[in-house]
Structures are given as C-alpha cells and as structure tokens.
Amino acid sequence: MTKIPGEFEPPKPITKAEREARKAFRQLDAEKAMTEHEIAQKAFSANREPLKAERLAREAAEPPVTAKKIKPKK
C-alpha cells in the first residue's frame, strides 16, 4: 500500500521500555548540554576579563574627552 500525499498516518504506540529509554537519553542529553554551556561560559568569562582590564587601562591612560560648547546664534 502506497502512501497518498496529505494522508494522515496515526503514530505507532510507544512501549513502556521505549518511553523509559527516551527519558534516560533525554536526561543524559540535557546534562551534556548543561556541561557544554558551563564550559562555554567559563571560556567566555576567562577571555573577557583580560580584555576588560586592557580596555580600562587604555581608557585611564587617555585624557578625558571634553565636549565642545556650541555658541548660540544671534
């Protein structure tokens, strides 16, 4: 029997073992994703700190910028 485009096919029932396996794998995937996220955040923070210190030192070395006052027209 061929499938006709647009025809709805009901999903196959999931066994209890399949549900338990999916649940276990979902939890492992979530833990892995959280670990990867934490590693990325630590790397970002480690990279950001020296850059921030460099920027602050550079800004402290520059003379302060003063805004020019605009004379009103008569």
Domain residue ranges in the chain: 16-61
Q: Sign of torsion, CA 19 25 28 29? A: negative
Q: Tell me, what's the pLDDT at 74? A: 65
The answer to whether 3 and 9 have CB atoms below 8 angstroms apart is yes
Q: Tell me, what's the pLDDT at 73? A: 73
Question: Could you read off the pLDDT tens digit of each residue along the chain, which spans 74 residues?
Answer: 567 777 888 888 999 999 999 999 999 999 999 999 999 999 999 999 999 999 999 999 987 767 677 777 76
Q: Please tell me whether the overall predicted TM-score, pTM, comes out greater than 0.75 for this model.
A: no
Look up residue 21 and give its two tokens.
Answer: 């396996």
Please work out, in degrees rounded to the nearest 5, the angle formed at the alpha carbon of residue 55 by the alpha carbons of 52 and 57.
110
For residue 3, what are the contacts with CB-CB under 8 A and spacing of at least 6?
9
